[in-house]
Amino acid sequence: MKKLNLRDIKKAKGQKLQVLTCYDFQMAQLFNETDLDMILVGDSVGNVVLGYETTVEVTLTEMEIFGKAVRRGAPDKFLIVDLPFGSYSTVTQGVHSATKLFQATRCEAIKLEGAFPYQLKLIERLTQTGIPVMGHIGLTPQSVHQLGGYFTHGKTEDDGERLLREARALQAAGCFSIVLEMVEEGVATRITEELKIPTIGIGAGRKTDGQVLVINDLLKMGARTPPKFCPPIADHYQERKNLITQYLIDQRK
Ligand code: KIV
Ligand code: NA
């Protein structure tokens, strides 16, 4: 499969774009040989690989390390890397951080959370400099403390309107695509229908233009049950545990 470019992705509106997260070289090599549309090096690396409580602990240096590993394994995939918490608290700082991350990882785009006015200004600056930006609204885990937890957004009419306004503003600022995380299905559908750019959902129903999932959840690589919106297609935690257990029994025979 040919590596997608920004125009291909914008044109794929309505075509069920498939995105998976990735954090390491070997999984990236595997993804590189599939027809996955895009790879996201999410700051979820903090939760599933580094064992942090929240993504707030993830640093720009860490995103660079994981982004570079995935780039080395998947040279032929459209690669998106998350800007971590605290690396874009002002427009100036955000331009500096995104440029550094973009150059170091040689990714095709960066993703950042939120649609406050300074973030819209940052997105304008970045896209004008030549750094494609994916937006991200609804549940924005970097703001977990400010939000007061993890929950579905857009359940009231006011909140739905707010999300629609944010999505429009992100599109106007220059985003090529927007992640809708834990957005109520009806609201996600409305945003998807109204925008010209593709929406990528996670826990946002089935009407978005694409879907993104955390690979560790999809394969159930961890001890904990994955979130409801990600029914695992395997139980790699149990399978690996069984294999190691059997290996140890065999060695001690
Ligand atoms: O960090 C991540 O994995 C993400 C996706 C869940 C969208 O931002
Ligand atoms: Na993220």
pLDDT tens digits for range 20-67: 999 999 999 999 999 999 999 999 999 999 999 999 999 999 999 999
Out of 3.30.1490.20, 2.120.10.70, 3.20.20.60, 2.40.50.140, select the CATH number for domain 6-218.
3.20.20.60
How far away, in angstroms, is 209 Cα from ligand 2 center?
19
What value does the mean pLDDT of the chain take? Answer: 98
- Residue 190 has, within 13 A of its CA and on its CB side, a CA count of 16
Q: Where are the domains of the chain?
A: 6-218
**181 given a catalytic annotation:** yes
What's the ipTM?
0.99
Chain position carrying tokens 């409580």: 53
Instruction: Categorize the per-residue pLDDT at 214 as very low, low, confident or very high, splitting at 50, 70 and 90.
Output: very high
| Average pLDDT of the residues in 156-176 | 98
Is the pLDDT assigned to residue 1 strictly greater than 90?
no
| Average pLDDT of the residues in 6-18 | 96
Going 182 to 230 to 23 to 102, the CA torsion angle's sign is: negative
Q: Which pair of structure tokens corresponds to residue 132?
A: 């494609």
Is the pLDDT assigned to residue 73 strictly greater than 90?
yes
| Probe target for ligand 1 pocket from 22, 27, 43, with the most ligand atoms within 8 Å of CB | 43
82 in a labelled binding site: yes
| Per-residue pLDDT at 204 | 98
| Per-residue pLDDT at 223 | 96
CA torsion angle 149 39 175 204 (round to 10): -40
Residues with CB under 6 A from ligand 1: 21, 40, 42-44, 82, 179, 181, 202, 212, 214
Instruction: Categorize the per-residue pLDDT at 99 as very low, low, confident or very high, splitting at 50, 70 and 90.
Output: very high
According to DSSP H, which parts of 91-184 are helical? Answer: 91-105, 117-129, 144-147, 157-173
| Average pLDDT of the residues in 210-231 | 96
Residue 149 region by backbone torsions, left for phi larger than 0, else alpha for psi between -120 and 50, else beta = left
- Find all residues with CB under 8 Å of 70, minimum gap 6, and list them: 22, 23, 24, 25, 27, 28, 39, 41, 79, 105
Residue 141 CA: which ligand 1 atom is closest?
8
